[in-house]
Structure 1
Amino acid sequence: MLKTGRIALMQDFVPLHLGFDHLSREDVARRNLTVPDNLFGNPDSPPNERKAITICDGTYIYIQKSSNYFFQRKSYSNHKYRNLLKPFLFVCCDGHIIEVSGPHAATTSDAQVMNSVIDNEEDTGDGVFHWFYRNGDVFILDRGFRDSVVPMQQHGYSVHIPESKYPNGAQLTTDQANKSRLITICRWVVEVVNGRFKRDFRLLRNIYKPNIILYV
């Protein structure tokens, strides 16, 4: 019964509300909020030339310890000190979810997930990512994506992450701190979306057995 319901949802409901095919790039650009659009976009351009701004981040689904040694190693997070899997979100400035990739192994960093998506190493739709976005589109990320900045810029995207301290520096300079704040006031949206998952959906607050999560 549950399998039938899951299949029906994946065939008839999910494609209408999730994935790069359920909306257009122009829809993403129309969802740009005033602050990020003025900081990183081009709000005065014609509608078909406006930059699409996307905020990316990973969240967690906690699972029980697995008896399979190799799966246990991949699912154990040295950051959270527990077993988990990582869904990866692409979100508009207003909180609308564009796509969810994964779940990915706990040992996979956000930068590795992003690099695999832009290089089409995983099942992301045979190049749909680069079909959806175009040169100049904006991605607002956190410091965990620092290894993705160069690959994304090579594909023509505009990437913004918070500044890091200079070598041997005690703290950020005034200019670095101000630039980081510009990222922070735009990225809070994806954090709210991640929190809403756990707050509103008890299903996502549970701790699952590893063999169950494979079928969700």
Structure 2
Amino acid sequence: MNDGHHELKTGLSFRQVGLFKIDTSEDSIRRRLEDTFHVVMRNLNDTVVSSYLGLSHLTRAGALSHHTAYSKVSFDDHLTVIWDDTYVYCHKSNDHELQRACYSGHKSRHRVKMMSLVFLDGYVLDLIGPFYGKKQ
């Protein structure tokens, strides 16, 4: 499309992705939905994430446009980025390996952690992770 928007096409009909009730096994519907979500995730990663996240999507001039009055006074013309982490607590999974990987003995809960690089005006430069609970 020439208006800057991207279409995510899977080539599957609504019946194929299981949005409507069809006579087939639940495993078959689950497999088709899983395949569809993987296609959508891959397309989002290729089109949106690569254009709006990561250190290479922004020039130095573009990065400096995210300076705030505070960062200009405190850090002059130096790029200022905050590196922060966020825990996302999750429910136990039926997938035994995933459940073990997500369990954090430190917090005694299942969780994953994302690391974020953020400019002082709140613009997210990059996200790193997820890091599973066991590896934190």
Normalised by the length of structure 2, the TM-score is: 0.62
Residue 163 of structure 1 corresponds to which residue in structure 2? none
Structure 1, unaligned runs of 5 or more: 43-49, 110-216
Q: Does 1:30 align with 2:65?
A: yes
Structure ranking higher in strand proportion? 2
Structure 1 stretches (4+) deviating beyond 6 angstroms?
Answer: none
Matched length: 99
| Structure 2 counterpart SS, 1:64 | coil
Match of 1:93 in 2: 120
Equivalence map 1:51-200=2 (5 Å): 51-66=78-93, 67-68=96-97, 72=100, 74-78=101-105, 80-109=107-136
Looking at secondary structure, tell me which structure has more helix per residue.
1
| Aligned 8 A contact 1:57 1:89 in 2 | yes
Code of the residue aligned with 1:83 in structure 2: it is H
The 1-side partners of 2:80 and 2:102 are apart by 31
Is the 1:26–1:52 Cα contact (8 Å) retained in structure 2? Answer: no
With over 3 angstroms needed to count, the CA separation of the structure-2 counterparts of 1:34 and 1:78, relative to structure 1, is farther
1:35 and 1:5 mapped to 2: Cα distance? Answer: 40
Q: Over aligned residue pairs, what C-alpha RMSD do you find?
A: 2.2
Instruction: Structure 2: state its 5+ residue gaps.
Output: 1-35
With the length of structure 1 as denominator, give the TM-score of the two structures.
0.41
Identity of matched residues, %: 25
